[in-house]
Amino acid sequence: MTLITLWEEHLSGLRGQKRNAKIYSAITEALASRAVLQLSCEEQAMDGAFIDNEILIAAVQHRLPLWMASHRHHKDKIVKAAMWREVAAAVLPNVNIDDAAELVQKRWKLLRDKFQRLFVANKKAKSGAGLDDVECITILWPYFELLYVLKDSMQTRT
């Protein structure tokens, strides 16, 4: 039985209540995203390679052109390709560099997109919400704080 299934069984009686439904959905989403991000079939097929998300986030954050759109080298494909290879070598040292670069780029995109979805949802929830509603919207995703530096570089559509 998975952890998500246990949560669903445990919290199934709480769905009818508005406050508990928000908590239920936040917990379920956080657990599901963590399971998906850590058990990628592609990574397991690469000689048992495993991408540590925290190491990946730290490696990418040190290379500003990869994530900061206002950086002068952000649009330079050659510079970015070299930086992705550096990140791949740091995160997956025993994997072919080209395959590893592709994997870390895919993983970074998953992490970045997940952060953006949670950040925008949290921002919308706070807009006009009462104190009780704001308290129960807590981001449980373990990488949210690590990726919080992306908030200034995100462009939201209005």
Rounded distance, CA 137 to CA 106, Å? 28
pLDDT at 41: 43
The answer to the question of residue 156 being in a domain is: no
The answer to the question of residue 155 being in a domain is: no
- Whole-prediction pTM: 0.63
- Look up the domain containing 119 and give its range: 3-150
pLDDT at 111: 94
pLDDT, one tens digit for every residue, the chain (158 residues): 454 555 555 555 545 555 555 655 666 666 565 555 444 444 444 545 688 999 999 999 999 999 988 899 999 999 999 999 999 999 998 889 999 999 999 999 999 999 888 888 877 766 665 655 555 556 778 888 888 888 877 765 54
pLDDT at 132: 59
Report the candidate in 127, 126, 142, 124 with the shortest Cα–Cα distance to residue 27: 142
How many domains is the chain partitioned into structurally?
1
The answer to the question of residue 86 being in a domain is: yes
The answer to the question of residue 157 being in a domain is: no
The answer to the question of residue 7 being in a domain is: yes
Rounded distance, CA 108 to CA 56, Å? 8
The answer to the question of residue 158 being in a domain is: no
